[in-house]
Each structure stands twice: as C-alpha cells, then as structure tokens.
Amino acid sequence: MYAGQREKLERYFRNAERFLWGVIPGDKRIVLTALRAVLRELGEDSVWIPEHQRLTYAMVSESLLTRLGIERIITGIVIRQVKRQFADRPEAPDFLRTHWLSGTLPRWQTLQSLRAPRTVKRRLLDAVGPTKDARTIRQQTSDILDAFLDVNSQFNYVHGWTVFAGLWFEEIEPLLKEDVEKHTA
C-alpha cells in the first residue's frame, strides 16, 4: 500500500457512514463485542475498548487507527470479517463483483437468496413487528450484504451501492491480489 492510498483509506475510514463500513453486522453492543474478539485473535489487547464506558464509534475508530494503522485494520479486521461472513456462501462476493463491474444492481429476490439464514430470535422479532423507527433499522446492518448494498426492506427494493462496495472492489480486492502475487512470485 503506497502512502497516498493509505491516506485515502484513512479518510474513508474516518468519514464512513457506518462504523468499519458495516462489515460487523449488528447493534453497537454486538459490534464492539465482536471487535474485541477480533482484536484478541490478532494478538492485540482489547482492554482499550472497555465495556463499561460509553464509547462513540469515532473514539474507537481513532484508537484503531492509532494502535493498528489502516493497513492492519483493512487486512486484520475488514478483509477477515468479509471472508468469514461469506464463508458459507462463497458465490456471493463473485455475484456482487459481477454486478458492480457491469454497473447494475442485483434484484431484490436474488439478493434475499444470498442472505445468511435468520436466527430463531430474529424471525420471532420480525413476526412481532417493527419496534424501532426506520432510520435506526437502516443504520444497523443485519448481514454483510448490507455493507455492500443500500436496501429498502419496507418496499423490497435495492436502492444502490454503498461507499464500502466501491472501496472493496476498487481498492481492497486489488490489494488482496497484489499480496497473493507477491507470495506466489
């Protein structure tokens, strides 16, 4: 990763609409708990993301940039989370990439077939009815697909691509290919 690309990715990271671009689905408690686990997997001390304090995502983002740097955030957290969450549906990234490259949006029905199976708890909550306003629901991701696409679940409509989709297909995936080529050459 060259210096200009590093600086650009840092700006995208700091200014992202969703924390970590939404690659860890869930509400704040779930996201921070998962992040602590990922940091432990990386051999990092997760104590600097305390559970008892009211943290903002901006505070955590700055801590991550300071302690890990953008390269390690991308390789150790973002790429790892995307691969982990697509592990049981390996066709999904290729499907998304094909649509991205062709400048088209996936159909709602096809996208739903690529979603991770809903848990019993989620099905029960969906059956009871919405308890939060639409804005809160939109801000929370429930599947890694939501990190790539902006969907309107009320009208069963795929609105468009997120900023993360562009970053993934245009910046991050090429870095992965460069890394593979370096190790195989």
Residues 6 or more apart in contact with residue 104 via CB below 8 angstroms: none
Residue 30 CA to residue 27 CA, distance in Å, equals 5
Instruction: Kindly list the distances between the CA atom of residue 87 and the CA atoms of 32, 82, 84, 127, 176, in Å, as whole numbers in the listed order.
Output: 21, 8, 5, 28, 17
Average predicted confidence (pLDDT) for the chain: 85
The domain locations on the chain are 3-87, 91-164
**Model pLDDT for residues 65-118, shown as the tens digit of each residue:** 999 999 999 999 999 999 999 998 999 999 999 999 999 999 999 988 888 766
Q: pTM, whole model, 2 decimals? A: 0.80
Any idea which residue has 């993301």 for tokens? 49
Nearest 10 degrees: CA dihedral of 58, 72, 18, 83?
Answer: -160
**Model pLDDT for residues 71-86, shown as the tens digit of each residue:** 999 999 999 999 999 9
Instruction: Kindly list the distances between the CA atom of residue 48 and the CA atoms of 27, 60, 63, 76, in Å, as whole numbers in the listed order.
Output: 20, 9, 8, 17
